């Protein structure tokens, strides 16, 4: 629980700094100083990028803490070492995984809206049927996002365990714990990412 609280505190501090910069930006709108505005805008961009990277690292630090029972800083260091040594696999899994999870959200929202349209056609006397359909679509997206975020955490956990397995075992004298299907999926994802990159460079 201390590790979870510490990680949340770090992200909270970064968000507090961003909120303070936004407060300063709002009070400086009456002054036409382009240099100060540019500096504050750059600070906001840097802090936003830092917050995104910190969220990703914090989530993986929690996984390392669950595996080894270490503290937050040690878990973050282990996660950074594991991910940096498998950077191509990280890019492949994140690209393929994020696309599949996004398709899942789109599918849930689409099915909800279609079901809403079908049900509203049977209702008579509704002057604005698109209002409840729109609200249902928004609610479906929020629910799908909450549930799919759990799957995203599961994917990150399995992949980090995969990286730890590759680091500690060689598959010959020390057999891998991972399944053959998982190994083939990771390698196929990496090949697909390379083909996408080659196709994009050829098109350019």
pTM above 0.85, yes or no: no
Q: How high is the pLDDT of residue 155?
A: 82
What pLDDT is attached to residue 141?
92
* Tokens coding 149: 């975020």
Q: In this predicted structure, what is the pLDDT of residue 120?
A: 79
Q: Which residues contact 141 (CB under 8 A, 6 or more apart)?
A: 105, 108, 109
pLDDT by 10-residue block (mean), the chain, 204 residues: 78 83 75 74 84 82 83 84 78 77 91 87 72 89 90 83 79 75 68 58 52
Task: Look at residue 42 in the predicted model and tell me its pLDDT.
Answer: 86
């Amino acid at each position: 629980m201390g590790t979870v609280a510490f990680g949340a505190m770090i992200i909270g501090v970064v968000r507090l700094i961003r909120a303070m910069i936004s407060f300063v930006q709002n009070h400086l709108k009456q002054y036409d100083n382009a240099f100060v505005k540019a500096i504050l805008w750059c600070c906001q961009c840097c802090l936003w990028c830092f917050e995104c990277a910190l969220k990703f690292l914090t989530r993986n630090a929690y996984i390392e803490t669950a595996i080894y029972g270490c503290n937050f800083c040690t878990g973050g260091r282990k996660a950074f070492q594991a991910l940096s040594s498998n950077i191509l696999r990280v890019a492949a899994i994140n690209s393929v995984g994020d696309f599949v999870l996004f398709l899942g959200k789109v599918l849930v929202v689409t099915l909800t809206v279609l079901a809403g349209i079908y049900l509203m056609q049977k209702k008579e006397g509704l002057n604005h049927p698109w209002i409840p359909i729109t609200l249902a679509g928004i609610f479906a997206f929020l629910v799908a996002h909450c549930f799919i975020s759990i799957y995203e955490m599961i994917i990150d956990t399995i992949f980090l365990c995969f990286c730890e397995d590759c680091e500690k075992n060689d598959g010959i004298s020390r057999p891998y714990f991972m399944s053959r299907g998982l190994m083939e999926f990771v390698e196929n994802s990496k090949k697909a990412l390379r083909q996408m990159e080659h196709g994009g460079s050829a098109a350019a």
